[in-house]
Structure 1
Amino acid sequence: MSIAPFNRLTCPLDGAPLCRTESGWCCPQGHTFDVSRQGHVNLLPVQKKRSLDPGDSKAMIVARRRFLEAGHYQGIAEAVSRRVLAQAPEHDRLAVLDAGCGEGYYLRALADAGVVQHELALLGLDISKWAVQAAAGRDKRMQWVVGSNAALPVPDHSLDVVLCMFGFPTPAEFARVLKPGGLLLEVEAGPDHLIELREIIYPTLKAPREPRQTAEVGFSADTVETVRYALSLDSAEQIADLLVMTPHLYRASAEGRARAEALTHLDVTVDVQLTSSLRL
Structure 2
Amino acid sequence: MYICPLCRQPLMLLGLSGLSELSGRQYHCTNKHSFDLAKEGYVNLLPVQQKNSKDPGDNKLMIQARRAFLESAAYQPLSDAVNGLLADTAAKTLLDLGCGEGYYSGRLQQALSKAAPAHKDLQLYGIDISKIAIKYAAKHYPTMQFAVASAYQLPFASNYFDGAIRIYAPSDNAELQRVIKPQGRLVSVSPGPNHLIEMKQAVYREVKPHSAVIKDEPGFNHITRQQLRYTLAINEPQQLDNLLQMVPLAWKFNAENRQHFVSTTQQISIDFLLDVYQRQ
Shared topology, TM-score over 0.5?
Answer: yes
* Number of the residue aligned with 1:10: 3
Cα distance in 2 between the residues matched to 1:116 and 1:85: 8
The alpha carbon displacement at 1:196 in A equals 2.1
The alpha carbon displacement at 1:255 in A equals 5.3
> TM-score when scaled to structure 1?
0.90
* Number of the residue aligned with 2:226: 225
8 Å Cα contact 2:194/2:209 also seen in 1: no
Encode CA deviations 1:3-60: one digit per residue, 9 max, x unaligned. xxxxx11100011111112212111111111111221110000111111111112111
Answering whether residue 279 of structure 2 is matched by residue 279 of structure 1, we say yes
The alpha carbon displacement at 1:221 in A equals 2.7
* Number of the residue aligned with 2:13: 20
Letter in 2 for 1:14: C
Task: Give 3-state SS (helix, strand or coil) of 2:62's partner.
Answer: helix
- Unaligned residue ranges in structure 1 (runs of 5+): 1-7
- Return closer, same or farther for 1:204/1:257 CA change in 2, 3 Å cut-off: farther
The alpha carbon displacement at 1:69 in A equals 1.0
- Unaligned residue ranges in structure 2 (runs of 5+): 16-24
* Number of the residue aligned with 2:21: none
Task: State, as a whole percentage, how many aligned pairs show the same letter.
Answer: 38
8 Å Cα contact 2:187/2:274 also seen in 1: yes
* Number of the residue aligned with 1:204: 206
Cα distance in 1 between the residues matched to 2:171 and 2:66: 20
Encode CA deviations 1:56-100: one digit per residue, 9 max, x unaligned. 121111000011111111100111011112222xxxx42000010
Alignment of 1:1-280 (within 5 A): 8-22=1-15, 23-88=25-90, 93-113=91-111, 114-117=114-117, 118=119, 119-212=121-214, 215-253=216-254, 256-263=257-264, 265-280=265-280
Aligned length: 267
8 Å Cα contact 1:201/1:259 also seen in 2: no
Encode CA deviations 1:151-180: one digit per residue, 9 max, x unaligned. 000011111111111111321111111100
8 Å Cα contact 2:199/2:249 also seen in 1: no
